[in-house]
Amino acid sequence: MPELPEVETTRRGLAPHLVGRRVVALDIRQPRLRWPIPRELRTQLPGQRIEAIERRAKYLLVHTEPGSALLHLGMSGSLRVLPAATPVGLHDHVDWHLDSGHVLRYTDPRRFGSQLWQPRGETHELLAGLGPEPLSDTFDGDYLWTRSRGRAAAVKLFLMDQAIVVGVGNIYASEALFAAGIHPKRAAGSVSRERYVRLAAEVKRILAYAIRRGGTTLRDFISPDGTPGYFEQELAVYGRAGEPCRVCGTPIRASVIGQRSTFHCPRCQR
């Protein structure tokens, strides 16, 4: 599933082609994605000028005067701006026709993504209760330490809890914990304030660097211009079970935490 850097890469790639443009019409070939495309999006979006495109967690919000389209890429979705005459493929489910003569095309082989609607002045239920953005000033080591007190859950699950901080998915949680030297199964409440300061700093550093590198290509992700992300080539532990640690040479171990694959170095992380 595309994580925060991939979604932010998509936002940055789309913005120059969308902001200021008017949505002329929608061409919905598959109305049932993860959830049915709501009537409000079908009736409210056509004819509107796109004011801005924002990311919240792993969602994209395309803002217009009456409200915002709320988009999620799911496990395999992608958004690309193409000439309107571009032939339609099997998994090209939705086109937004723009006044530029192009379309914003949503492609999703698995159909786990979504296109929903958020009226102006309201917060969609999917966005309610989310924690702070990891690249914001609100997120730091003191915040993590305070929220972790008394928690027996594994620190990796704590870091991936969207009510604690948004957008830190499986890949980047594994990478940040390695960089901070913290074992992913350690109880969140047992991690010291000092180590949380380092963990928060590593989350920020790794996410910012991954965004600069265009995100991580795992299976399906490509950016709006068709180029893949390049951070995958630099992953320290994720997906490297049995390979030597880049720091100490110890074989990377794989395990399962919360039904998700987890990778760590048994020597560097404690």
| pLDDT at residue 219, as a whole number | 43
| pLDDT at residue 228, as a whole number | 54
Name the residue range of residue 146's domain: 141-264
Same domain, 79 and 166: no
Q: What angle do CA 85, 82, 105 make, to 5 degrees?
A: 100
How many Cβ atoms from other residues are within 10 Å of residue 18's Cβ? Answer: 23
- Which two tokens mark 103? 């379309």
> CB neighbours of 30 closer than 8 A, spacing ≥ 6?
93, 94, 111
Burial class of residue 144 in the structure, from the number of CB atoms within 10 Å of its CB (0-12 exposed, 13-18 middle, 19+ buried) = buried
Binding residues for DNA: 91, 110, 151
Quick check: is 148 in a domain? yes
- Which two tokens mark 9? 């890469």
Quick check: is 135 in a domain? no
Same domain, 161 and 106: no
Domain boundary among 119, 154, 174: 119
> CB neighbours of 114 closer than 8 A, spacing ≥ 6?
33, 34, 35, 70, 71, 72, 74
Q: What angle do CA 175, 137, 170 make, to 5 degrees?
A: 25
Q: Which residue type is seen at 248?
A: C
The number of domains in the chain is 2
The Cα–Cα gap between 190 and 170 comes to: 21
Quick check: is 65 in a domain? yes
Question: Whole-structure pTM over 0.75, yes or no?
Answer: yes
Q: What is the pLDDT along the chain (270 residues), one digit of tens a residue?
A: 678 988 998 999 899 999 999 999 999 999 999 999 999 999 999 999 999 999 999 999 999 999 999 999 998 899 999 999 999 999 999 999 999 999 999 999 999 999 999 999 999 999 999 999 999 999 999 999 999 999 999 999 999 999 999 999 999 999 999 999 999 999 999 999 999 999 999 999 999 998 888 755 444 445 566 665 545 557 999 999 999 999 999 999 999 999 999 999 999 999
| pLDDT at residue 221, as a whole number | 46
Residue 195 is a catalytic residue: no
Same domain, 113 and 206: no
Residue 133 is a catalytic residue: no
Domain boundary among 66, 84, 119: 119
Quick check: is 136 in a domain? no
Same domain, 56 and 113: yes
Residue 58 is a catalytic residue: yes
- Which two tokens mark 151? 């928690």
Binding residues: 91, 110, 151
Report the 3 state secondary structure along the chain: CCCHHHHHHHHHHHHHHHCCCEEEEEEECCCECCCECCHHHHHHCCCCECCEEEEECCEEEEECCCEEEEEECCCCCEEEEEECCCCCCCCEEEEEEECCCEEEEEECCCCCCEEEEEECCCCCCCCCCCCCCCCCCCCCHHHHHHHHCCCCCEHHHHHHCCCCCCCCCHHHHHHHHHHHCCCCCCEHHHCCHHHHHHHHHHHHHHHHHHHHCCCCCCCCCCCCCCCCCCHHHHCCCCCCCCCECCCCCCECEEEEECCEEEEECCCCCC
Quick check: is 133 in a domain? no
Q: Which candidate in 3, 8, 175, 232 is catalytic?
A: 3
Q: Which candidate in 55, 56, 58, 240 is catalytic?
A: 58
Residue 80 is a catalytic residue: no
Looking up residue 42, the CATH number of its domain turns out to be 3.20.190.10
Quick check: is 134 in a domain? no
Same domain, 201 and 101: no
The Cα–Cα gap between 140 and 134 comes to: 8
Alpha carbon separation from 242 to 182, 237, 253 (Å, rounded)? 19, 10, 6
With contact defined as beta carbons under 8 Å apart, do 95 and 27 qualify?
Answer: yes
| pLDDT at residue 2, as a whole number | 76
